[in-house]
Chain A
Amino acid sequence: MTTPSDNLTRRRLLMALPLAGAGVAGVAFWKMLDGMQHGSFNPHDINAPVLDRPVPDFTLAPLPPAEGFTTQDLQQLTKPVLVNFFASWCIPCLAEMPTLMTLKDRLTMWGIAYKDKPDNIASFLHHSGNPFTRLGDDHTGRAGIEWGISGVPETFLVGPGGIIRWHTAAPLTDATINRVLLPLVQRLQTP
């Protein structure tokens, strides 16, 4: 037989369940907000499952005079290459170009023009500078789908053997380059 006060305590514990639930949700929200402020949590991230996978099969139209590239070219890599999807109609791509230009001497970059016209691509690269050693034209956006991109700019680091080692769907910044990208390139270059 339980005493009335035992009974009351038990009932109180039962009635505290909503409070406990709200508390758990509150802590989780706080962690999310905290993560958003520190950049470790991004609810808008798509997380394409490309990491550590071979590059997809894709075809690009040539953009003469630049040299184009194919899946096989990436598979035969011995040194890492940065593959960047860009477009002349995309404002963040334009903003990203100076950053890519500074990276040009330290890392090989191949560009893919996404849903763009050859004339516009040429004048875009003429104005912003051309950081790419090879260039392909994805006029239909089909290669982009094979790579799993949802917009431009998106950037992939392809390691030796054509394995995708890193990916970002945001414009590259100096911070990401120095903190994440270049250390990774170092590791990939020293087998």
Chain B
Amino acid sequence: MLSPELGHYALALACVLAAVQGIIPLIGASRRDARLMALAPGLAIGQMIALGVSFLSLIYAAVTDDFSVQNIAENSAVSKPLLYKITGVWGNHEGSILLWALILGLCGAAVAAFGRNLPSALRARVIAVLGLVATGFELFCLTTSDPFARIWPAPMDGQGMNPLLQDPGLAFHPPILYTGYVGFAVPFAFAIAALIEGRVDAAWGRWVRPWAVAAWCFLTCGIAMGSWWSYYVLGWGGYWFWDPVENASLIPWLTGTALIHSAIVVEKREALKIWTVLLAIATFSFSLSGTFLVRSGILNSVHAFANDPARGVFILGLLGVVIGGSLALFAYRAPTLTAGGLFAPISREGALVLNNILLCSLCAVVLTGTMYPPFMSLLFDRTISVGKPFFDATTIPLALPLFIFMGFGPMLPWKRAQLWPVLQKLWLAAIVAALACAVAVFELSGVLAILCAAAALWVIAASVTDLAERTKLFRVPVATSLQRARMLPRAIIGTAIAHAGVGITVLGLAAMSQAQHKIVEVPIGTTEQLAGYDWTLKAVEQEPGPNYTAMVATLEVRRNGRLVTVMHPSKRSFNSQNQTTTDVAIHTNMLADLYGVLGDRHGPDTSPTYVLRLHYNPLAPWMWLGALIMAFGGALSLSDRRMRVGAPQRAKPTPASTSVA
């Protein structure tokens, strides 16, 4: 029977297994003892199974309304729909830490299962490092955040969940985001293993890259989902607050993006080895510190979980061991790594170095902007805010050159390149960008928005050009081009798609800077004008829901007298928590979102007035669509034969294989 005690026991078991997994294979690898090293996969899979049992026990307790478990009593209720009883398990601090540990366990098991072709010492070390990290988090879970703690007497009903979490988008957002964060533990473990071994070579680069790309895909989707949730649930019309919690996910995304690019250089040219190792460590360190410092309450964020400085001290200690330990190892071992291949500044490698410099500068800006207020407060006892105007002014000028060079990068040959032939190939893309710029000058206001729109089209056009060049489109018969396209490595198609995805996102961001909105208080029957649309409030009615009652508005939108859509924004009052949420109505034609929010009701019952918030958001869906395309590009390149996890043997790649991608 899945009881909370069994779950607690399984968690403790997982912790012990993780500790053994962290120690024995390391000893085995250093003594070259094949039997000890061979224990690693079994331990990793065992740890994952134990965590799975633990997690299932918690879900079982939630589904069966076991309110003697404190965590369930505080976060669930009988009236909650089944789906949200399950997803609510990770909707609180304790449960989310357990989910975090489970995903880390899954990563360890994945390396055990898919890493069969890795050299046994490397595989043992990678699994051991993952085990050590897991030990720390499972200890944290057991000692300060026990999700299975019982209370007595058990309440008859739970306190219920925050109604805002009662949303399918948010229900699955944390697992995806956490998979992104935790997924970077694998490249981190590879980096530590390589430092212990004292060897980083092309094969290492090839092994580490698929794991980094996979984690990156999840993180990209996770961030996009979070932003989308904020857009359609919070009802403020925006999509990014530049809040510390959001920045905490953006920072590892930026370094992770740098990592998946620099790992290519390691794989193809054995250069940038030390840098790539550092990026792998940094990305996971940022993933850890971001998500965990948020829980300590240091950052001025309203996203924060129940703040507990005592818990924060444990976390800080844990971070100190993981990050401090790995950076100390880096300082000791990295200088002994041998230098890699030479390349000229203008070359594929050079472009990737530039990509890394710009991405890391962006990361430094976001990191500084996020951490500056608490540091100012600590050092000078002064409070400041760092918000959107600051980040717009500092990140866009750094991002623009990045977009421009993104166009060239994939077309430059390795080692030494000429800029002119590449420029000649990109003339069409340049014309597209120039035309976009010209159109944008009339359509958009703001220099940065215009430049961003032009840069976005440049990136998309350059990606298309890259594929067209490689398939010799329009220069050979279409059938031959298709044939060539089929022969192209998936990694190349994936790169082009992911880059185009960046362009689409940026285009959406540029257009969203032109969004219009209006907040009004009107009686039923009023028509408001916004962005060329006539918005009429037709009716407002009461409707009961499963555990709430809703006030639903009927909002008719017409353009030039022709009916565009009828929207039903609503406001829900939840019975259990005395809370209200707004349910945004969005009508999209993929080119623009019409976005309506119903606010409070005022005035006498005979002639009430309602607050309406109306937004016109051009190209809004493109922001998230672009992110999904990026993730799809990443996934496509993962399916490349040469990227398959553990496929290659440790050997020098033949010169022929370096000519592509």
Chain A interface residues (CB < 8 Å from chain B): 8, 11-12, 14-16, 18-19, 22-23, 25-26, 28-33, 35-37, 41, 43-47
> Majority SS of interface residues in chain B?
helix
Residue from B274, B281, B316, B381 within 8 A of A26 (CB atoms): B316
**Interface 1/0 per residue, B366-397 and A, CB below 8 Å:** 00000101110110011100000000000000
**Contact at B296–A33, with CB atoms within 8 Å?**
yes
Contact of B378 among A14, A19, A32 (CB under 8 A): A32
* CB-defined contacts of B319 to chain A, threshold 8 Å: 26
The 8 Å CB contact of A45, one of B281, B309, B377, is B377
Q: Are A15 and B330 neighbours in the complex by a CB distance under 8 Å?
A: yes
Q: Which residues of A contact B194 (CB under 8 A)?
A: none
Whether B330 contacts A28 by the Cβ 8 Å rule is no
List B contacts of A45 (CB < 8 A).
Answer: 377, 383
The residues of A that contact B313 with a CB separation of less than 8 Å are 30, 33
Per the bound structure, the CA–CA distance linking A132 and B229 in Å amounts to: 46
| Interface pairs (13), CB distance under 8 Å | A12-B332, A15-B331, A18-B281, A22-B285, A25-B371, A26-B320, A26-B324, A28-B375, A29-B296, A30-B313, A31-B378, A41-B378, A43-B297
Smallest distance from the beta carbon of B213 to chain A beta carbons, Å? 24
> Within 8 Å of chain A (Cβ to Cβ): is B328?
yes
Q: Mark B284-295, 1 if CB is under 8 A from A, else 0.
A: 010000000100
- Residues of A with C-beta under 8 A to B316: 26, 29-30, 33
- Assess whether B383 is in contact with A18, with CB atoms less than 8 Å apart: no
A37-B328 contact, Cβ under 8 Å, with A29-B293, A43-B298, A43-B374: no
**Which chain A residues border B432 with CB–CB below 8 Å?**
none
Smallest Cβ-Cβ distance to B332: which chain A residue: A12
- B459 in the interface, Cβ–Cβ < 8 Å? no
Contact between B330 and A18 (Cβ–Cβ < 8 Å)?
yes
- Alpha-carbon distance between A16 and B296 when the two chains are bound, in angstroms: 27
List residues of chain A with CB within 8 A of the CB of B479.
Answer: none
Question: Is the beta-carbon distance between A33 and B320 smaller than 8 angstroms?
Answer: no
How far apart sit A124 and B644, CA to CA, in the bound complex (Å)?
70
Q: Is B312 an interface residue (CB 8 A)?
A: yes
Rank and list the top 9 A-B pairs by shortest CB-CB distance, nearest first. A11-B335, A16-B331, A19-B327, A47-B383, A15-B331, A37-B309, A33-B312, A36-B309, A15-B334
Q: Give the docked Cα–Cα distance between A28 and B383 (Å).
A: 16
| Shortest distance between the CB of B550 and any CB in chain A (Å) | 24
Contacts of B296 in A (CB 8 A): 29, 33
Q: Which chain B residues numbered 294 to 311 have a C-beta less than 8 Å away from chain A? A: 296-300, 309-310
Contact A22 B324 (CB under 8 A): yes
- Known A15-B274, A44-B300: A8·B331 in contact at CB below 8 Å: no
- Contacting A at CB under 8 A, from B265-292, are 274, 278, 281-282, 285
Residues of A within 8 A of B331 (CB): 12, 15-16, 18-19
B516 at the A interface (CB under 8 A): no
Please, which residues of chain B bring their CB within 8 A of the CB of A25? Answer: 371
